[in-house]
Each structure stands twice: as structure tokens, then as C-alpha cells.
Amino acid sequence: MAFQLPFDFMREPARAQRPRAAAAPLPGFENESIRYFDAPALSRPLEMPQSVRAGALAGMLVAAVIGGVILFQYFDAIVNAPAREQAALEENLARAVPVEVPAIMSFMTMSDEEVMGALNASGATLYERVAPGTSEDGSFEVIKLPEGVTVADAGAMYVTGIDNLGAADAVRLLNGAWDLTVNHTNGSLVRVRYADFTSLSVQEAVQGAINAAGLGECAIDDSGVDESGNTYAAGVVESEGNVYNWRVSALPLSEMYDISGVPETASYVGIKLTSA
């Protein structure tokens, strides 16, 4: 005999079978079997509030200004900066700066204090690279700065390194300057060095330095090119009963400093006096 379970008990309660109340029709719609959302809010114009629009416009203006500044600086660095550098270089080279080396012959018999007193009395702007009495070997070094270059400017450029300067700044610092070293520890040594931007060759630079140092009337006992590549001339000079050895040398400035853009004819010159 087959046994059948009464599945009627699994049916939904009677309350679930009650007919649902029909939804109230929305205005303008006749189909009561479909429910519609209130659509008028979606049909309004999509406009930002006035305050939001003002803020967005201000942000766009700021972004445009910043972008314009960055773009200008980029093109200025690429296009205009090299032209300005070249113009400044030509201006510094065009300055008529005579070679005025100090009276090194008189320094041979002076004390360090007397040498510094004479330099200060000249009115030149001086940069003490090694002050008197501060070095172990007894020497001191002082640089006469060109007109228009302050001690602060020179200090910053020397700290940077001449090799790291642009051509315009390097010429501004070197053209019209000289570097003096004095040592009275064992005998006397006085040496002055400078950059020559007017001579067209190292030979011309050597002759110009001989004349500037007051050695033009001295006989040249030795000359040529030494093992370091310096073109030189040397001899003996007598002053106030004292006899000194002198040597003038020069080499291309490009062999002394790695400065791109400096004229190839520029020379680095040295004049040295020592006790005989």
C-alpha cells in the first residue's frame, strides 16, 4: 500500500495568499501594474552651485598661471639663458682692464706687515686667501679683485671653484685681478699670477708681463718651454744693491681652468722673484 505524505502543510499561510492592494497610480500614468519613480527631479538642468563654480574657476586660473610660469621658465632656460650668458661674457671681455701688477721688486725687502700696508694704501679691493702669519710655511696670499667685484662675491665664487663657474662669471672674477704670494721665511719669494685676456699668444703674454713687472731692460738668460708646458723667460735683476732671480711664464688659460666659452687665446701668467 503506497504511503503518501500530506504536503498540504508546506503551503504558505493563508495570509500570504491574500490579494495585494493595488498601488495608487501616479499622476499621468494609466497603467496600474507598473510603478514609476518621481522623474521631475531628473529632468532639471545639471548646473553646479554658484559657489562651486567660482571655486572651480579659481582653481583653473591658478593652475593656468602656474603652468604658464613653468613653461616660461623652461623656454627661458633653454632659449634665452645661453644668449644672456654670451652677452655677459662679451661685456666682461670688452672691459678695458690694463695689466697692473704690484711693485713686487719693492716687496722683496719689506716685512709681511709692510707689504699688506702698501697694498691697503693702494685702495684696491683685497681678498685675503691666506692671511699673514697663518700658514705653516710662513707665506701669505692675497688677491686683488677687479672693479665691481666685492669680497663677498669673490668668496662665494672661490668656494664654488673657478672650474665650476660659467664663462661670464669666471671672466668677471679673473679679468683685472691678480694673485700675490709672499714668503720671507728662507730668503725672499714674491710671485704674482693673473689671467691675460688681451694677448693673442702665450709669447705675447710673457713679453707683456716682463714689461708690466719693470723687467723690460733686463737681459733674458734663459727661455723656452719647460716640462710643464709653460712658455717662459728668465734672468737676473739688481735692485738697490740686491740681486734677484726673475722668471716669467705663461700657458693657455684652458690648461689651468676648465672653463667652457673662454677665448682660446687667453693665457695664465706668472711672475716670480727670488733671492739670488
Residues ≥6 apart with Cβ < 8 Å to 184? 111, 112, 138
pLDDT at 7: 47
The predicted model scores a pTM of 0.68
| HSE-up of residue 97 (Cα within 13 Å, Cβ side) | 24
pLDDT at 272: 97
Residue with cell 662669471: 169
pLDDT at 50: 72
Residue 17 Cα to chain centre, angstroms: 91
pLDDT tens, position by position, for the chain (276 residues)?
Answer: 454 555 454 555 545 455 555 555 555 555 556 665 666 656 666 666 677 667 777 777 777 778 777 766 655 556 555 656 556 656 666 666 666 889 899 999 999 999 999 999 998 999 999 999 899 999 999 999 988 889 999 999 999 999 998 888 888 899 889 999 999 998 899 999 999 988 999 999 999 999 999 999 999 999 999 999 999 999 999 988 899 999 999 999 999 998 888 888 899 999 999 997
E strand map for the chain:
126-130, 139-144, 178-183, 189-196, 222-225, 231-239, 242-252, 267-275
The Cα 150–Cα 250 span in angstroms is: 27
Residues ≥6 apart with Cβ < 8 Å to 270? 191, 192, 193, 230, 247, 248, 249, 250
CA angle 124, 112, 240 (to 5 degrees): 95
The Cα 228–Cα 231 span in angstroms is: 9
- Residue 143 sits at φ, ψ, to 5 deg, of -115, 130
pLDDT at 84: 61
pLDDT at 120: 93
